[in-house]
């Protein structure tokens, strides 16, 4: 799996858009970018994933650069409940490997009131 680099922590004001970057310069052509988050003392929550096109769902948007070496997760209107650790994971799609998801240290996003 490609290595990812994320900032250790970020602050964002409530109601503003939170933009969380992830670098994955060694990503392979068949690898997807997945985002999860973990609110304190809870299990991780799947957010979104994408291959090369930008993706949007009810939780967030995922912007992947044209060269696919980096991506940004966007929470359009952050609320206090979005305070969590956000993990960017790069993996091949289904069947790409059976050794479990690798969660790095992620970005601790703190939403300020």
The binding site for another protein (CB under 8 A) comprises 32, 34, 41-46, 49, 89, 91, 93-105
Nearer to another protein, 49 or 52 (CB): 49
> Minimum distance from CB of 69 to another protein (Å)?
20
> Minimum distance from CB of 63 to another protein (Å)?
19
User: Using CA atoms, how far apart are residues 95 and 26, in angstroms rounded to an integer?
Assistant: 20
Nearer to another protein, 12 or 85 (CB): 85
Q: 99 Cβ partners below 8 Å, 6+ apart?
A: none
H-assigned helices in the chain: none
């Amino acid at each position: 799996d490609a290595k990812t680099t994320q900032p250790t922590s970020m602050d964002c004001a409530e109601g503003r858009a939170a933009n969380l970057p992830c670098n994955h310069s060694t990503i392979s052509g068949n690898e997807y970018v997945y985002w999860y988050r973990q609110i304190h003392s809870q299990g991780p929550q799947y957010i979104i994933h994408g291959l090369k096109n930008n993706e949007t769902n009810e939780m967030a948007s995922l912007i992947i650069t044209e060269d696919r070496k980096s991506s940004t997760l966007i929470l359009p209107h952050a609320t206090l409940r979005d305070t969590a650790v956000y993990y960017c994971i790069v993996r091949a799609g289904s069947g790409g490997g059976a050794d479990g998801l690798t969660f790095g240290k992620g970005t601790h996003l703190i939403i300020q009131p």
